[in-house]
């Protein structure tokens, strides 16, 4: 058989077959694994903002329980006062007159009760001697009990008037500083009207607004560094309390790029010693994280 005419067709077919065999026998290349990128560890510092505050019960606004004209307000702003010191006094002339009348009435009833006691003792002796009957004795005993009841009511009235009079003088509930004087002597105040603000500036702390996703990395006793705008230097503190609840942010973020709708926890920071920070001052914090 003459294959010469088929040579132009056989040679290309053999080349293609050989190339296919080589390709099929070669192992397929493995896909290249992506190059490992640099790991992004958690930062060891949590940055947040907060505000200087007093401890619970150490920053209060004093107000009278009863209304009336403010007769005296002898303290001024920034005055340091001691616990029990009189801070303000309402006009107490009417209340003093009522107390004097109540005391006089109580003295009158006490004298009457003493007379009835003597009469009761005399009727008791006469009944034992058979001079008077049971009816006279019962009458004396009833008058004695009624007189005692009236005397006790008068004494209670005196105690009530004394308590009301004492509430017209406002005393300092703790030692501290008069932060704000809200009213002035001579003004007519309603019951519960604000007089002044008293705070214990010797014991301040910071209420820091920590983003909720940072809370798991905080621990009680963690170290804190504080700084305030406009004041040189930094101060130290420690995490004192981590609440179990979160709330909406109270402070407007100084960084406009930070989200404002994030939820935070008000973490309490105890200051290490005295600082020049002022009550209500805004501070920036760096909290040690785990």
In the predicted structure, residue 16 carries a pLDDT above the cut 70: no
User: Residue 100: which CATH number?
Assistant: 1.10.287
pLDDT, greater one: 172 or 128: 172
Q: How many domains does the chain have?
A: 3
pLDDT, greater one: 209 or 26: 209
- Average pLDDT (275-289) is 93
Q: Pick the last residue of a domain from 199, 218, 247.
A: 199
265 with 208, same domain: the answer is yes
**pLDDT value of position 37:** 45
- Average pLDDT (169-196) is 95
Token pair of 21 as six digits:
């065999």
- Given a contact cutoff of 8 angstroms between Cβ atoms, the answer to whether 119 and 140 are in contact is yes
pLDDT level of residue 34 (50, 70, 90 thresholds): very low
161 with 186, same domain: the answer is no
Question: What are the tens digits of pLDDT across the range 70-88?
Answer: 999 999 999 999 999 999 9
The answer to the question of residue 37 being in a domain is no
pLDDT level of residue 132 (50, 70, 90 thresholds): confident
- Average pLDDT (262-284) is 93
Of the listed ranges 128-132, 163-167, 202-206, 260-264, the one predicted with least confidence: 260-264
In the predicted structure, residue 157 carries a pLDDT above the cut 80: yes
Of the listed ranges 20-24, 181-185, 216-220, the one predicted with least confidence: 20-24
Write 210-214 long-range contacts (CB < 8 A, 24+): 210/46, 210/48, 210/264, 210/265, 210/267, 210/287, 211/46, 211/48, 211/262, 211/263, 211/264, 212/246, 212/262, 212/263, 212/264, 212/265, 214/46, 214/48, 214/289
pLDDT level of residue 259 (50, 70, 90 thresholds): low
Q: Pick the last residue of a domain from 116, 145, 166.
A: 166
195 with 63, same domain: the answer is yes
Question: What are the tens digits of pLDDT across the range 41-56?
Answer: 556 899 999 999 999 9
192 with 155, same domain: the answer is no
User: Residue 218: which CATH number?
Assistant: 2.40.30.170
228 with 282, same domain: the answer is yes
pLDDT level of residue 274 (50, 70, 90 thresholds): confident
**pLDDT value of position 14:** 57
- CA 175 and chain centroid, separation: 18
In the predicted structure, residue 40 carries a pLDDT above the cut 50: no
Token pair of 279 as six digits:
């009550």
219 with 247, same domain: the answer is yes
**pLDDT value of position 26:** 54
180 with 244, same domain: the answer is no
Q: Of 144, 191, 200, nearest to 172 (Cα)? A: 200
User: Residue 70: which CATH number?
Assistant: 2.40.50.100
In the predicted structure, residue 266 carries a pLDDT above the cut 80: yes
Q: Which domain holds residue 154?
A: 93-166
Q: Of 280, 267, 287, 277, nearest to 228 (Cα)? A: 277
In the predicted structure, residue 4 carries a pLDDT above the cut 90: no
pLDDT, greater one: 31 or 258: 258
Rounded to two decimals, what is the model's pTM? 0.70
pLDDT level of residue 129 (50, 70, 90 thresholds): confident
């Amino acid at each position: 058989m003459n294959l010469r005419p088929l040579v132009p067709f056989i040679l290309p077919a053999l080349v293609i077959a050989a190339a296919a065999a080589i390709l099929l026998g070669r192992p397929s290349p493995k896909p290249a694994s992506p190059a490992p990128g640099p790991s992004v560890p958690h930062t060891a510092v949590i940055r947040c903002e907060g505000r200087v505050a007093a401890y619970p019960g150490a920053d209060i606004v004093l107000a009278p329980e009863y209304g009336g004209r403010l007769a005296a307000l002898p303290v001024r702003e920034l005055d340091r006062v001691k616990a029990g010191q009189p801070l303000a006094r309402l006009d107490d002339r009417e209340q003093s007159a009522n107390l004097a009348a109540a005391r006089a009435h109580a003295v009158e009833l006490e004298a009457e009760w003493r007379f009835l006691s003597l009469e009761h003792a005399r009727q008791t002796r006469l009944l034992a001697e058979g001079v008077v009957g049971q009816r006279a004795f019962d009458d004396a005993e009833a008058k004695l009990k009624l007189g005692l009841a009236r005397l006790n009511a008068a004494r209670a009235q005196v105690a009530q008037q004394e308590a009301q009079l004492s509430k017209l003088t406002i005393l300092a509930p703790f030692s501290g500083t008069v932060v704000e004087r809200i009213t002035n002597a001579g003004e007519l105040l309603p019951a519960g009207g604000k007089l002044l603000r008293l705070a214990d500036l010797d014991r301040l702390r910071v209420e820091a607004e920590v983003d909720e996703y940072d809370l798991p990395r905080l621990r009680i006793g963690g170290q804190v560094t504080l700084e305030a705008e406009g004041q040189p230097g930094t101060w130290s503190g420690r995490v004192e309390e981590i609440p179990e609840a979160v709330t909406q942010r109270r402070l407007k973020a100084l960084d406009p790029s930070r989200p404002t709708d994030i939820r935070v926890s008000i973490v309490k920071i105890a200051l290490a010693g005295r600082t020049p920070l002022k009550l209500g001052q805004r501070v920036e914090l760096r909290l040690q994280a785990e």
